[in-house]
A and B are shown apart, each in its own frame.
Chain A
Amino acid sequence: MQSVTSVQSGAICGSKSKTPAKVSALPGRSALDGELMSRVVTSADRDAFNALAMHYAPRLKAWLMHRGEGDSTSEDIVQDVLAAVWQKAASFDGAKASFSTWVYRMTRNRWIDHKRKHDRLQPTAPSDMIHLVDEPDDSLHAGLEEAEAAQAVRDALATLPPEQKQMLYLAFFEGLSHSAIAERTGIAIGTVKSRIRAPLKKLRTTLEAYRKDVP
C-alpha cells in the first residue's frame, strides 16, 4: 500500500525522478465541498460525509506519507481527522475557510500532535491549534469572508506558471526543504527559492489586496 494510485485528471504530481512534476489546472472543489459539508451539518448526512472522506482521505494519507509516516500510522491519523470532521462539523464555517483548508489544517495539527507524542512530549490539542486562523472575527479584517479570499488565492494559483506551481507542491504537499527540492529536480537551490518565494509573495499580495477591498 506504499504505492500511489494512478494520476487523476487535473492532479498535480511530484516525481521521484528529476522529471519536473506535471501540473495542470486546478479543478476546484470549493463549491461542491461546501454543499457536502452543509448536508453534514444540517442533517448529519453520512453519504455526504463519505463523499468528502473518499476524496480527501487518500490525499491526506499521501501528505502524511510524504512526511515520513508509515502506511498504518498515516491511516490512523487520517481516521482521527475525519472523526473530528464528523464530530466538529457544526464548527465548520465556510465563510472563514474552504473545506480543503480546514481539513488540511486539522491534519497538519493532528500530525504535529503525533510528533509531540513521538518526541515523548504531550500534545497540544488539535482543536486549540485550529484557532490559529479559524477565529479571525476580532481581527483587523473582521469583515473578511475567508472563503472568498481562499477562492482568490485559488484563482491566482491557477494562473501561476507550471514550474512555480510544481515548487509549491513539493514544498507544501511533499514538505520538502529547498535543498531537497533542488536535489529532486536538479534545479539550482537559488532558483528553487525564487520559484517558491515569488509565487507566495504574489499570492499573499493578492490576498492582502483582496482584504483591503473588503469593507
Chain B
Amino acid sequence: MSTAHSLPITVGDDWLAMQSAGTLSPFKQLLLTCQADMAPHLRPLFASDDHVAGALLESAKPAALSDDFMSRLDARLIADEQAKAPTSEAAHAASIPDWMPAPLADYMRRNGRRLRWRNAGVGVQQARLGRNRHGERLYLLRAKPGLPVPRHSHSGQEWTLVLSGGYKSGAQQYVAGDLHQEDESCTHDLRIDDDGPCISLIVDEGKLRFANPLLRLFQPVVGI
C-alpha cells in the first residue's frame, strides 16, 4: 500500500457526497468501490455521508405503495426460500490476478469478460472493459517500468486508480490504492516507477490530448 503518504489519495468531499447520494456514474462508483476494497482504512471516510443519508431516509417524505406491495413481497420471500441453492465461486476466485480488486473481478465475471491485453503504444498495453451510453470508457492500462508518458491533457474527466506499481505526475507520487483525477484543465506528463510495471483502472470521458503533434497522429492507432 501507500508508502509516500499515510492515507491513499481519493476524491474530494463533493465527489464523496455524490458517491453517497448515488449520483456518480456506475463506472466511477465501481472505481471508488475498488479503491475501498484496496484501502479499507478509507471506508470510514466513505461511510460518513451514508450516515447522513440514512438519517435523512428515516423521516423522508414517503411515496404511495401499490395496494398489493406487501402481499407481493410475502410471495417473493416464500419463492426465494424455496429456490435457495448453494453456490460456489471457488473456480472463479482461483483465476483472479492478485492485483485485481474483488469488485472489478466480480464485474468482469458477471459481464462475461476475459482479460485481453492489446498493445496501445510502446511499452503500454490496454484491456478494454466497457463503454457506456454516457460516453465513458472503462479500461485497464499496463505500462512498463520507467516509461515516460509524454505531456498531455484530457478530453473531459479521467479517473485513474492505481492497482499495482506506481508513477509520478509532476511532483506527486501515486502508488497502489491511490485515485488520480484529471480533467481538460490539466496538462501534465507522467513517469512510471522503475521498480515494476504499473497497472491502473481508468474511467475517462474522452481520449488523451497529446501536446506533441506526432503522437496525436498515431493516437487513433493506439486507441488511448
Given A58-B64, A123-B110, A141-B44, check contact A200 B54 (CB 8 Å): no
Question: Is B48 a contact of A203 with CB atoms below 8 Å?
Answer: yes
Would you call B156 an interface residue if the criterion is a C-beta within 8 Å of the partner chain's C-beta atoms? no
Residues in B with CB closer than 8 Å to A115 are 26
Q: Is the CB of B22 within 8 A of A136?
A: no
- Contact yes or no, B59 A26, CB < 8 A: yes
Question: Please, how many angstroms separate the alpha-carbon atoms of A141 and B46 in the complex?
Answer: 13
Known: A83-B80, A128-B103, A139-B41. A200 touches B64 (CB 8 A): no
Asked if A20 is at the interface of the complex by the 8 Å CB criterion, the answer is no
Instruction: Convert A1-27 into 0s and 1s, putting 1 for each residue whose CB lies closer than 8 angstroms to a CB of B.
Output: 101110110111110000000000011
- Evaluate contact between A133 and B56: CB separation under 8 angstroms: no
Contacting A at CB under 8 A, from B52-82, are 52-66, 69-70, 72-73, 76-77, 80
Number of A residues contacting the other chain (C-beta, 8 Å)?
Answer: 90
- Asked if B49 is at the interface of the complex by the 8 Å CB criterion, the answer is yes
Complex contacts, A123 vs chain B, CB 8 Å? 107, 110
Residues of A within 8 A of B149 (CB): none
Indicate which residue in A4, A53, A200 contacts B61 across the interface (CB closer than 8 Å).
Answer: A4
Q: Which B residues touch A116, using CB under 8 A?
A: 26
Residue of A104, A112, A150 most packed against chain B (CB within 10 A): A104
Q: Does A60 touch B at the CB level, under 8 Å? A: yes
User: Are B54 and A98 in contact, with the CB atoms below 8 A?
Assistant: yes
* Residue B215 lies at the interface, judged by CB distance under 8 Å to chain A: no
Residues 100-130 of chain A, each 1 if its beta carbon lies under 8 Å from chain B, else 0: 1111110010011001100111111100110
Chain A interface, DSSP helix/strand/loop, else mixed? helix
0/1 string, A42-79, CB within 8 A of B gives 1: 00000000100110111111110101000100110001
Contact of A61 among B37, B46, B47, B65 (CB under 8 A): B65
Q: How far is the CB of B125 from chain A (nearest CB, A)?
A: 22
- The answer to whether A29 touches B58, judged by C-beta atoms less than 8 angstroms apart, is yes
A133 vs chain B, min Cβ distance (A)? 4
Task: Report B8 CB to chain A, min CB distance, Å.
Answer: 12
CB-CB under 8 A for A129 and B33, given A105-B50, A157-B55: yes
Q: How far is the CA of A103 from the CA of B52 in the complex (A)?
A: 13
The 10 sampled A-B contact pairs (Cβ below 8 Å) are A5-B61, A5-B62, A79-B69, A97-B47, A100-B57, A136-B44, A139-B44, A141-B44, A173-B60, A207-B48
Known interface pairs A122-B107, A172-B56; 5 further A-B residue pairs with C-beta atoms within 8 A, sorted by A's residue number: A1-B63, A62-B62, A97-B50, A124-B30, A150-B54
4 smallest beta-carbon distances between A and B, as pairs: A101-B54, A58-B62, A133-B47, A122-B111
Q: Spell out B's residues near A (CB within 8 Å).
A: 13-14, 17, 20-23, 26, 29-30, 32-33, 36-37, 40-41, 43-44, 46-66, 69-70, 72-73, 76-77, 80, 102-103, 106-107, 110-112, 130, 132-134
